[in-house]
Amino acid sequence: MQHQQGFTLIELMIAIAVIGIIAAVGYPSYQSMMVKTNRGTAQADLMSFASAMERHYATTFSYKGAAAGGSDTGAPAIFATHSPSTEPAAKKKYTLTIHSVSTDGNNFELRATPVSGSPQADDGIIVIYSDGRKGWDKNSDGSIGNAEFCWSC
């Protein structure tokens, strides 16, 4: 008699079921971690953007004119317009903008707005102000509430 080697159909089905369960549990955790990672990258890009605004202020004595076309608000001319700034624009997760500059040119608000259709779409805007305050619209209602003036709340 010959002794056959290999797996039975039942053993293969059990192995596939175990792999399926592991994937079903692990994938949502992976997605959540990727959203947090992309948010962290956007926060780092906002810090670099704020540094670029400070350099602009040091040379012009105003935050005015830092946007494209010499404008005060909108897409920046002094920094990348998207995050992650090290990636091509086609892979952007956030759009970076100068949301406001005070009339005297001494204060600014920078925003990272999640790109719709990306995993970040429902993550809420991230904000940094010229006075160092940071905010994250955790509940995605379009504004920064008093409890949202932090990046890890």
Q: Give percent of the chain above pLDDT 90.
A: 71
Given a contact cutoff of 8 angstroms between Cβ atoms, the answer to whether 115 and 81 are in contact is no
Q: Are 76 and 111 in contact (CB under 8 A)?
A: no
76-132 pLDDT tens trace? 999 999 999 999 989 999 999 999 999 999 999 999 999 998 889 888 999 999 999
pLDDT for the residue numbered 134: 95
Largest CA distance in the chain: 95
Q: Over the stretch 48-65, which tens digit does the pLDDT of each residue have?
A: 999 999 999 999 999 999
Handedness of CA 16, 18, 21, 27 (dihedral sign): negative
Reported pTM: 0.82
Cα–Cα dist 147/153, whole Å: 8
